[in-house]
């Protein structure tokens, strides 16, 4: 992997983390709250059953162990949706959830500062329009959703493609308006 593609991947990672934390996570909070309640209930029931079995085996009277296990199971169950965010997104997110994420990524990429948009492509501010176009073509062919090796990777390819596409459109405007390329002195 070349240094520019490593830098491009790092810039993309930073961008997607910012979008996730600022835009997507708040939109999904209500959905995850319902998931949290359900997993807390299930975790509490499983832990209470385990506590009852231990109480019965060791002939503990008064069930103090069962209560402690129920509280602990409910707490761990409630934390589970936050721990498995990305797994949930890949396996349980609905088409509507994915559309929300895509819309937020597209909106944020279109608003990126020019230097950050160029960093997504691994290009310096002095890059020519032709360099941008060539890099865009390479990345769009590489990350087009139809090129995904399997259905599970298609959402990642789609998000990457949409990000690059919106950033490219943003930079095309900057080139058209003469703000790019920057000379070394500016």
Q: How far is CA 99 from the centre of its chain?
A: 13
Q: Tell me how far CA of residue 128 lies from CA of 46, 171, 178, in angstroms.
A: 61, 11, 11
Task: Return d(Cα 112, Cα 77) in angstroms, integer.
Answer: 38
Give yes or no for a contact between 184 and 175, defined as CB atoms under 8 angstroms apart.
no
- Classify residue 59 as left (phi > 0), alpha (psi -120 to 50) or beta: left
| pLDDT at res. 86 | 47
Q: Decide which of 77 and 54 is more confident.
A: 54
43-60 pLDDT tens trace: 667 766 777 676 777 777
pLDDT per residue over 142-160, tens digit each?
999 999 898 887 888 888 8
Among residues 119, 98, 117, 106, which one has the least CA distance to residue 172?
117
Alpha helices in the chain (DSSP H): 3-19, 25-58, 64-83, 85-91, 95-110, 114-120, 129-143, 154-176
- What average pLDDT score do residues 30-50 get? 69
Q: How far apart are the first and last CA of the chain?
A: 31
DSSP conformational letter for 60: -
| 3-class secondary-structure state, position 112 | coil
User: What's the maximum distance between 2 C-alpha atoms anywhere in the chain?
Assistant: 82
Q: pLDDT at position 49, please?
A: 73
Average pLDDT over residues 110-116: 92
Section 69-97 average pLDDT: 60
Residues 6+ apart with CB under 8 A from 112: 15, 120, 167, 170
Statement: the pTM of the whole predicted model exceeds 0.85: no
Q: Which of 75-89, 115-129, 152-166 has the highest mean pLDDT?
A: 115-129
């Amino acid at each position: 992997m070349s240094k520019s593609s490593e830098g491009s991947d790092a810039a993309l990672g930073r961008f997607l983390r910012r979008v996730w934390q600022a835009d997507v996570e708040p939109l999904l909070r209500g959905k995850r709250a319902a998931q949290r309640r359900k997993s807390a209930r299930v975790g509490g029931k499983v832990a209470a059953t385990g506590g009852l079995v231990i109480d019965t085996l060791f002939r503990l009277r008064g069930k103090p162990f069962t209560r402690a296990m129920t509280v602990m199971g409910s707490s761990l169950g409630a934390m589970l949706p936050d721990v498995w965010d990305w797994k949930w997104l890949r396996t349980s997110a609905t088409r509507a959830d994915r559309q929300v994420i895509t819309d937020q990524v597209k909106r944020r990429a279109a608003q990126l500062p020019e230097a950050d948009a160029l960093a997504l492509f691994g290009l310096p501010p002095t890059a020519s329009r032709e360099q941008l176009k060539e890099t865009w073509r390479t990345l769009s062919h590489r990350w087009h959703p139809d090129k995904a090796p399997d259905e599970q990777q298609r959402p990642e390819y789609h998000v990457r493609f949409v990000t690059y596409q919106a950033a490219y459109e943003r930079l095309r405007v900057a080139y058209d308006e003469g703000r790019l390329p920057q000379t070394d002195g500016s």
